[in-house]
Amino acid sequence: MYKRNKISVVVPCYNEETQISLVIETMPEYVDRIIIIDDCSDDNTVQIIESFVQNDDRIVFIKHDINKGVGGSIETGYIWARDHGMDVAVVMAGDAQ
């Protein structure tokens, strides 16, 4: 929480096995929800994210059944944030950019 606002970060991911750990590990403590959307990765992205889910209750992990592209992933994350009462939603790329 930051200044009484619930903060969420939407993280669209597609084949980000080399960088997704850095994204999660460096997320500021004031972020209430890390909404990670996997867009049908075919590398080890899902397994890496799932290993973090067990230890960080801020992570909301959503997997697309079909690839929707980065825009579709961001939309999915924004909808989740809206529907779950987040006050602020921002985007951070799954490759830590």
User: Tokens representing 30?
Assistant: 């004031």
pLDDT of 88: 97
Q: What is the mean pLDDT of residues 24-43?
A: 96
Exposed e or buried b for every residue in 39-52, given b needs 16+ CB within 10 A?
bbbeeebbebbeeb
Please provide the DSSP assignment of 43-84 as one string.
SSHHHHHHHHHTT-TTEEEEE-SS--HHHHHHHHHHHHHHHT
Query: pLDDT for 43-80, tens place per residue?
Result: 999 999 999 999 999 999 999 999 999 999 999 999 99
pLDDT of 31: 97
The per-residue pLDDT of the chain, averaged, comes to 95
Q: What share of the chain is helix, strand, coil (3-state, %, to 5)?
A: 30, 25, 45
pLDDT of 7: 97
| pLDDT > 80? residue 1 | no
pLDDT of 94: 87
pLDDT of 44: 97
pLDDT of 83: 98
Sheet with strand 33-38: strands edge to edge: 59-63, 33-38, 7-13, 88-91
